[in-house]
Amino acid sequence: MRQIYEFAVGPLAWAAFAVFILGSAWRFYSMYTLARKKDGPFLSYMSWKFSLRSIAHWLTPFGSLGWRENADVTIVTFIFHLCLIGLPILALGHVVLLDRYQGIEYWFLPEGAADIMTLAVMACCLYFAVRRLTNVTVRYVGSVRDFGVLALAFAPFCTGFLAYHQIGPPLAMTTLHVLSGELMLMAIPFTRLSHMIFGLFARAYVGSEFGGVRHAKDW
């Protein structure tokens, strides 16, 4: 088990980051190339000003009509994404690992706060899962794949929580935590999690078109 753990935090971690970074870069580059080839006229409308204006509104809780009219989803979505992105970067265990392997040291979250945020991510996942089963529209358009993506996001936080609280065999749980985190990282460019990469650009395009051509807000 120790060897698996060492492999997971060593070479596999490098591989996971490489797949995530290079995969995302490749996905972005190939999408951009495709856009240049087939959507050239549309690219010409891209504007930093209107892109950022639109993104800023959509990154503000209740800053758009869609957020306002889906209040519960809005609250859960913002908590979920803040914790999902913030926790892996600022959790004590991760900062310690970075310090040990790379000599990089920075501020980390108090353990209590990290614990609450972990629970929050799991609770949000549960909310999304229940919503997938109960909301008529989401059920109508959803598939098993959506639960798969949700499970990808849930697993590292669940195993991290269990490992931190020493529930189950600590090393095995920690190894599972590392592996599931790496799996999620590697899945980002190639699954629906790619909305992390493309969502911002789609919003930027809409913002540019609405701002620069249609002179109307898109939020």
Is 183 near another protein (CB under 8 A)? Answer: no
- Rounded CA-CA distance 88/155 in Å is 13
Task: Tell me which of 12, 13, 31, 95 binds another protein, using CB under 8 A.
Answer: 31
Take residue 209 and report the two structure tokens written for it. Answer: 């078109």
- Rounded CA-CA distance 19/178 in Å is 15
Contact range with another protein by CB under 8 A, out of 9-17, 153-161, 179-187, 188-196: 188-196
Contact range with another protein by CB under 8 A, out of 7-15, 40-48, 90-98, 118-126: 40-48
Measuring CA to CA, how many Å separate 133 from each of 111, 154, 193? 33, 17, 20
Task: Tell me which of 58, 108, 157, 161 binds another protein, using CB under 8 A.
Answer: 58
Identify which of 119, 184, 195, 191 has the alpha carbon closest to the alpha carbon of residue 153: 184
Is 2 near another protein (CB under 8 A)? Answer: no
Q: How many residues bind another protein (CB under 8 A)?
A: 52
Identify which of 124, 107, 122, 94 has the alpha carbon closest to the alpha carbon of residue 17: 94
Q: Which helix (H) or strand (E) holds 155?
A: helix 144-164
Is 146 near another protein (CB under 8 A)? Answer: yes
Is 20 near another protein (CB under 8 A)? Answer: no
Q: Binding to another protein (CB under 8 A): which residues in 83-142?
A: 135-142
DSSP string, 96-130: HHHHHHH--------HHHHHHHHHHHHHHHHHHHH
Is 202 near another protein (CB under 8 A)? Answer: yes
Residue 50 CB neighbour total at 10 angstroms: 22
Is 148 near another protein (CB under 8 A)? Answer: no
Take residue 202 and report the two structure tokens written for it. Answer: 């789609």
Is 49 near another protein (CB under 8 A)? Answer: no
Report the interface residues with another protein, using CB under 8 A: 31-32, 34-35, 37-39, 41-42, 44-45, 54, 58, 64-67, 69-70, 73, 77, 135-143, 146, 149, 192, 194-195, 198-199, 201-207, 210, 213-219
